[in-house]
Amino acid sequence: MEYRRLGRTDLNVSALCLGTMTWGKQNTAEEGFAQMDLAVEHGINFFDTAEMYAVPTSAETAGKTEEIIGEWFTRSGRRQDIILATKAAGPGDWIKHIRGGPRLNREHLEQAVEGSLKRLRTDVIDLYQLHWPERSTNFFGRLGYKHRRDEQAVPIEETIEALEGLIKAGKIRHYGLSNETAWGAMKYVMEAERRGAPRPVSIQNPYSLLNRSFEVGLAEVAHREDIGLLAYSPLAFGMLSGKYRDNTWPEAARLTLFKQFSRYTNPQAEAATEKYCQLAEAHNLSPAQLALQYVTTRPFVTSNIIGATSLAQLEENLRSIEVPLDKELEKALDAIHAEHPYPSP
């Protein structure tokens, strides 16, 4: 396993991070325990979760994933071996079962942290992330930006002040962004530096062969400001594994169960996926491993967040780090991207 520095911190995280959002919905607690055991055996030292998980979020499942991780810490005694990341939910009508409608102000962030600490059975969170912006902007698949003059979002400087207080209180060590834009990332950096407050150390956004939008604007921010990408959905909800080819819908698969996640199943995405799968097969490679290794090897990526619903899937994903990726193969991947540039933003 390769390890990379998290921002400008003294933490070195594994190049693959264990994603957890299915635990408590698609996966049982015992299955989650087994996945954590296997990941650690492969050298993973970085787990990512969120207060709203499992996904799709609901009042019944919110917080379940954190509880499973906390139980594993108690059973295994391995909290000190793991760099632990979780997230605070942002506002939205669809998430009102969390704190009556979450905000990114001091009151809500303090409540969110205390809840996560309790469920995770830990005294401190290593990386605390803002799951999505307080303001209305382009995230969760929207490429265009539409300005809302009437919105009353919590100011970024207020959120930074709250996060600084949590760091000083020893509740969190560092903070990161998620589903953020280039403007938002730079605004956090500038406001933090103006205040003399801690800067964000990472950004967790979607990035895959079907969604390379991070490369436009944010990749430069990641490099120049040392805010590396924690890439999520690197397999586009399993689409790039090839298991949905030829209109196949495997039983209990995520896109089979939850049709509302449609950003990866449009005709352009299906056409691009078929070409990526054919390219992998021509090189005797697993489509999933090729797609994952492409993400892991991008120079602006700090860690690639992999998830699975079975140990066999997780084993395959973990071994993606061993896949050779030469210049000719990269050129072939870029050629497909040029033909199908942003099918699933």
Paired with 13 in beta bridges are 4
| Separation CA 175–CA 161 (nearest Å) | 12
Query: 53, 188, 244, 276: which one is catalytic?
Result: 53
**Does residue 53 carry a catalytic annotation?**
yes
Task: For Cα atoms 291, 294, 295, give the angle at the middle one, nearest 5 degrees.
Answer: 95
The amino acid occupying position 307 is G
| Separation CA 21–CA 98 (nearest Å) | 16
- Give the burial class of 56: count Cβ atoms within 10 A of its Cβ; 0-12 exposed, 13-18 middle, 19 or more buried: middle
User: Among 217, 237, 235, 236, which residue's Cα sits nearest to residue 227?
Assistant: 217
For residues 68 and 29, the answer to whether their CB atoms sit within 8 Å is: yes
Q: Could you list the active site residues?
A: 53
